[in-house]
Structure 1
Amino acid sequence: MSSSGHGHTPAAWTGVIISFIGFCVAGAFIVMANVAGFWAGMVLIGLGAVVGGLMRMAGLGTEPKKSARPRPQAQAQPQEG
């Protein structure tokens, strides 16, 4: 599975790190019963997804895979003459 390269891009790492920080912030503030801090963490989680997506569109992510089926090759027509 590691040969697929899934998640091994700067876009994926950046998005996950930002989202993880947001998760930690939201978790800490929910324990402290601070609603504003909790929602700030939730915004960071969403921001991680947006930043990762923007980085992918900028070319720092994996390119979409093409069809797994090989294209049929055109058969050579015999030349007359």
Structure 2
Amino acid sequence: MAGSSHGHGHTPAAWTGVIISFIGFLVAGAFMVMANVIGFWVGMVLIIGGAVVGGIMKAMGLGDHQKPLAMVGGAPIAVREPVAVES
């Protein structure tokens, strides 16, 4: 299973979505402790916004669009496309 997660989530879309959602969790948690309902819901909107922004960025091509790695003897190797040589 460890080899199948190569590159999982290491994209600009994933990082941006997670960072926005994390900020939303911080905001919602802080305002929940302060008993501020409006601030709590602002944090919840940020959490959903992180998922939306990540999805939009993925649709724009900033998500994971790499081909899976081939496995040889349990170690992943990159498979390259042949390069045409111009003369």
Q: Same fold (TM over 0.5)?
A: yes
Q: TM-score, normalised by structure 2?
A: 0.70
Query: 1:63: how far off?
Result: 2.1
Residues 6-60 of structure 1, C-alpha deviations (whole Å, 9 max, x = no match): 0100000000000000000000000000000000000000000000000000000
Letter in 2 for 1:30: M
**Cα-Cα RMSD:** 2.0
Moved over 4 A (4+): none
Larger radius of gyration: 1
**Same amino acid, percent of matched pairs:** 74
Offset of residue 65 of structure 1? 6.2
> Structure 2, unaligned stretches of length 5 or more?
69-87
Gaps of 5+ in 1: 67-81
